[in-house]
Structure 1
Amino acid sequence: MFRAKSFVGVLIHLSLMAIIVVAMIVGFFYIYLPSATNHGESISVPRIEGMQLTDAEELLEQQNLRYFINDSSYNSNLKPYTILTQDPSPDAKVKENRKIYISVNMKNPPMIKMPKLIDGSVKNAELILKSYDLKKGEVTMVPDLQQNAVLKQFVNGQEVKPGELIPKGSVVDLHVGDGLGNTEFEVPDVVGMPVDEASVLLVGQGLQIGNIIYVQGSEEPDGTVLKQRPFAEVGAVIRVGEFVDLWVAGEEPVQGIE
């Protein structure tokens, strides 16, 4: 056993012990530990957003990385099992065997309540459908006095009432009023009447005044209706809300300036 025979020997002995301890510390922290934990070695996380889960799984395995599905949602515009998000983000530096957290697109859409589109406009229906992740399908104009108003809503050919459950992402077809109504009646005959009286008669029957064309050189008094379209022929019918054009004798009145 080594024994120091002098003060200098003691110092040498202590110095040797200090060197050994320092060497052990340096060796553990800067040689053994880095080699055991791959210290300083990192992997760039690949971009897997937008990939199919099976393809992403293979890529991560090649990079010595793992994945964990921590969320899922549904997007009708993407294929099932498409990766929507990832954490850490692409190009982040991580250790081998790091777990990548992902969210994926569900295979089956969740069921949601059908919103109320009835009585609103087509434009309003489009905004509501978009907010519910639904799609506007075919718009069919049907006779009704409510012009451009949604009257009925359909999914897969079946009428759906507000509040009924439908798959998210469904295509919703609409029946929309054409503003003309469904009531048909014989075309009223206003030829020979003063244009003011003819207008009152037509409007009173739910019709609209279309173009008024003034004709000069007629033998009829000014302001008399000379012709109309559609014609008041036998069997001719018209629907509520439709237009009637009039040809009127005389010059077009000059609008006064106030």
Structure 2
Amino acid sequence: MSKFWAYLKTKQFRLNAILAIGSIIIVVLIVFFSLGFYTRHGEGIPVPQLKGLSVEKAMSILKDQGFEYKIDSVYVLDQPPGSVVEQDPDAGTNVKENRTIYLTVITRLAPPVALPDLEPYTYREAVATLSNFGLKVGDTTYKSDIARDRILEMRFAGQPIKAGTKIPQGSRIDLVLGNGEGASEVEIPDLVNQDLDAAKFVIKNGGLTLGTITYQGQITDSTSMVVVAQSPMKTDSLSKTSNGTRINLTVSQGKKTDVPNN
């Protein structure tokens, strides 16, 4: 062990150590400068500014400057379709020739969305809900109804539309609202012998409210039920009731039958 420590103090050891350290430094420098030369670090072609251009113009510029490109699409409400909204790498970045530039372009086709159910909502709530679904409010009209600004009907392209129907994102939905000035009394409809779905429709559009549905007998087919009783019901002494009155129904299995006139 004493010989080893003595060797460490010799001139020969110090010379060998200096040579080893110097060799390591030279190798590191050679690798560093070789890698920089090989990759042409800091050199290349600057990426052009493509944001805001039409996709056709952007592709033409990239092709002329020797770049490859790949295109992805995204739908953005109220933005012109066919324009570049993102690019990677950013404009001004130096890249090698033939580098692939990735473009994000606004698509011309809006994705479909399901129309939300707005009928339980007020106008203000409906506007917020439509906005959350990427839809817009179109024209608004009013009709007689005791509930002011409540959504009574939704229309698309002039036609009634039901909740859940798929329509293009960004579409305008026309709304029919209650004016709060509905008649204080409405006619009591005669719903006996009517299909349940038809009875519900008459109640809703007659300014009334569907109340309790009582099922009579065994029900094996929920799509085929007929009203056998209602409360209140129309009589010679009672033909009208207050707007919004609840109409209770009793239904049984069966279909509407034609009753001959006497």
TM-score band w.r.t. shorter chain: 0.5 to 0.7
CA distance in 2, matches of 1:170, 1:182: 34
Runs of 4+ in structure 1 deviating by more than 6 angstroms, as ranges, are none
Structure 1 gap segments, 5+ residues each: 1-21, 186-239, 241-258
Which residue does 2:46 correspond to in 1?
44
Secondary structure of 2:90 counterpart: coil
With structure 2 as the length reference, what TM-score do the two structures score?
0.53
Offset, 1:44:
2.6
Which residue does 1:248 correspond to in 2?
none
CA distance in 1, matches of 2:184, 2:51: 57
Which residue does 2:102 correspond to in 1?
101
Are the aligned partners of 1:82 and 1:105 in contact in 2 as well (CA < 8 Å)?
yes
Are the aligned partners of 2:145 and 2:179 in contact in 1 as well (CA < 8 Å)?
yes
- 1:226-245 mapped onto 2 (5 Å cutoff): none
RMSD: 2.9
Given candidates 52, 61, 72, the residue that maps to 1:59 is 61
Q: 1:41 to 1:124 in 2, by over 3 A?
A: same
Which residue does 1:164 correspond to in 2?
165
Structure 2 gap segments, 5+ residues each: 1-26, 187-242, 244-262
CA distance in 2, matches of 1:89, 1:151: 50
For 1:161, the aligned partner's letter is: K
CA distance in 1, matches of 2:47, 2:124: 44
Are the aligned partners of 2:120 and 2:150 in contact in 1 as well (CA < 8 Å)?
yes
Are the aligned partners of 2:75 and 2:106 in contact in 1 as well (CA < 8 Å)?
yes
Are the aligned partners of 2:42 and 2:94 in contact in 1 as well (CA < 8 Å)?
no
Task: Indicate the larger mover: 92-101 or 130-139.
Answer: 92-101
CA distances 1:113-157 after superposition (whole Å, capped 9, x unpaired): 111111212111111111111111111122111111111111101
Which residue does 2:75 correspond to in 1?
74
CA distance in 2, matches of 1:183, 1:49: 60
CA distance in 1, matches of 2:35, 2:52: 41
Offset, 1:183:
5.2
For 2:82, the aligned partner's letter is: Y
CA distance in 1, matches of 2:126, 2:49: 37
Are the aligned partners of 1:75 and 1:169 in contact in 2 as well (CA < 8 Å)?
no
Which residue does 1:232 correspond to in 2?
none
Aligned residue pairs, count: 158
- 1:56-205 mapped onto 2 (5 Å cutoff): 56-69=58-71, 71-182=72-183
Q: 1:130 to 1:60 in 2, by over 3 A?
A: same
CA distances 1:26-65 after superposition (whole Å, capped 9, x unpaired): 9x9499x65xx65542233223222211011122223332
Offset, 1:76:
4.1
Are the aligned partners of 2:43 and 2:94 in contact in 1 as well (CA < 8 Å)?
no
Are the aligned partners of 1:53 and 1:82 in contact in 2 as well (CA < 8 Å)?
yes
